[in-house]
Structure 1
């Protein structure tokens, strides 16, 4: 089982065929994107074989999400060209989450073969059960109702070495607090739009949503880093603390 940290720090090990299979695309598409400069070049190993890593997978996922948003290839090229060149796979995954967050809900009914193709891997019965528990997949007879926007995230969580109970508890915490944040933010903006026409309100919402999501993600990342630093620092401070003197 691969941890999240290992996933983002491992050396490139995928061949172009393996990369295409993991990304749910074709080798021809990967090569086309490479010639367009949308993907960084692979690491050339023994026998002149190119090796790809998590950054390439994350970029392919971001490109796919931008296509779902209706962007043309030229627009995607401009979009990716504006990103910092040193973005890690982790940063790209977060960036894709932001892009997906203002897409309309996309629930599709798929058969098992198509579900596994979209997931980029074979799924065991236990995997399906976990995806159902996370509300990423729903059973519909012999088919599956799939939230396309959450599928890749759900599939990644299958490899995170924590219990299903912990994942569900984390999901509940995030839902509870995100709803509270959404309610309070709506109160802040309500006064700004109370006298405007319905179309103006929808337009303002469409412009504000990605900005608010990006702000929430940034604030959450910073808060989480601070929590982790404090968490990791506690054992060090305990080890350094002098023993109390008797008497």
Structure 2
């Protein structure tokens, strides 16, 4: 398990089980430098925490999107080294959005396993309002894997359904406007290029632009929240 303080307390077996992968996979990723080293506990037993779990989930999502190990290494090297589990979950949600259709149908038990916690009727109602899950028959749910972890984290945020939906509308509106403006900007760059060059540029631009937008948004939001009474601001 993980302590309330979020300190590393998972064994490698528990980390693998929580992430839905094998211990061999965890060791493989660690050997490639895709996961930070564990914290050594008593008797030098490696312990893992929320950052390891979130980073492992991000690596798995990048794999699902078809990125090679070399491409995943490049992607992770470009991330700030001090990202929190929440920051990593945001990146994973954005990466999952690259897929045209990421919705899966799972049982209640599997949904709760992936969420890492029991889900009561109110929890399911909130996740449904955020379009993260939906009923798909008796004891079956449609779930967006890329948004599930973020949606579960929002369950503990003291916001009403209305505020969550309003926030989602704001994000959709402004992200579409940014995508439109960037598409127009890059369209001029590829107008006179060969088809192969255009395809190569498109393959590289999607993850890079998404990552740049997410990083810029995180910094802007941190600055805005820092202006609230009691806000920490930026260093």
TM above 0.5: yes
Q: Which one has the largest radius of gyration?
A: 1
The aligned residue for residue 109 of structure 2 is 113
Structure-2 change in CA distance of 1:166 and 1:36 (3 Å): same
1:171 deviates by 1.3
Answer whether contact 1:23 1:120 (CA < 8 A) is retained: no
The aligned residue for residue 67 of structure 1 is 63
| Secondary structure class of the residue paired with 1:223 | helix
Aligned counterpart in structure 2 of residue 54 of structure 1, from 50, 53, 75:
50
| Secondary structure class of the residue paired with 1:70 | coil
Answer whether contact 1:63 1:76 (CA < 8 A) is retained: no
Answer whether contact 2:92 2:146 (CA < 8 A) is retained: no
State which drifts further: 225-234 or 192-201. Answer: 192-201
Equivalenced residues, count: 227
**Alpha-carbon distance in structure 2 between the residues aligned to 1:226 and 1:130:** 28
Alignment of 1:1-247 (within 5 A): 10-72=6-68, 74-75=69-70, 78-79=73-74, 82-83=77-78, 86-90=81-85, 91-142=87-138, 143-189=140-186, 204-232=201-229
**Alpha-carbon distance in structure 1 between the residues aligned to 2:142 and 2:197:** 34
| Secondary structure class of the residue paired with 1:231 | coil
Deviations 1:9-55 (A, max 9, x none): 74223333432333233444334433444333322233544321121
1:57 deviates by 0.9
Answer whether contact 1:24 1:120 (CA < 8 A) is retained: no
Structure 2, unpaired ranges of 5+: none
**Alpha-carbon distance in structure 2 between the residues aligned to 1:81 and 1:157:** 25
Question: Hey, which of these two has a bigger chunk of helix by percent?
Answer: 1
**Alpha-carbon distance in structure 1 between the residues aligned to 2:180 and 2:21:** 39
Q: What is the RMSD computed on CA atoms of the aligned residues?
A: 3.5
| Secondary structure class of the residue paired with 1:156 | helix
**Alpha-carbon distance in structure 2 between the residues aligned to 1:190 and 1:53:** 43
Answer whether contact 1:101 1:210 (CA < 8 A) is retained: no
Structure-2 change in CA distance of 1:47 and 1:188 (3 Å): closer
Answer whether contact 1:101 1:213 (CA < 8 A) is retained: no
**Alpha-carbon distance in structure 1 between the residues aligned to 2:46 and 2:10:** 8
Structure 1, unpaired ranges of 5+: 1-5, 235-247
TM-score, length basis structure 2 = 0.75
Deviations 1:153-204 (A, max 9, x none): 2222223343333322211211122223233334444555678899887665
Structure-2 change in CA distance of 1:190 and 1:41 (3 Å): closer
| Secondary structure class of the residue paired with 2:218 | helix
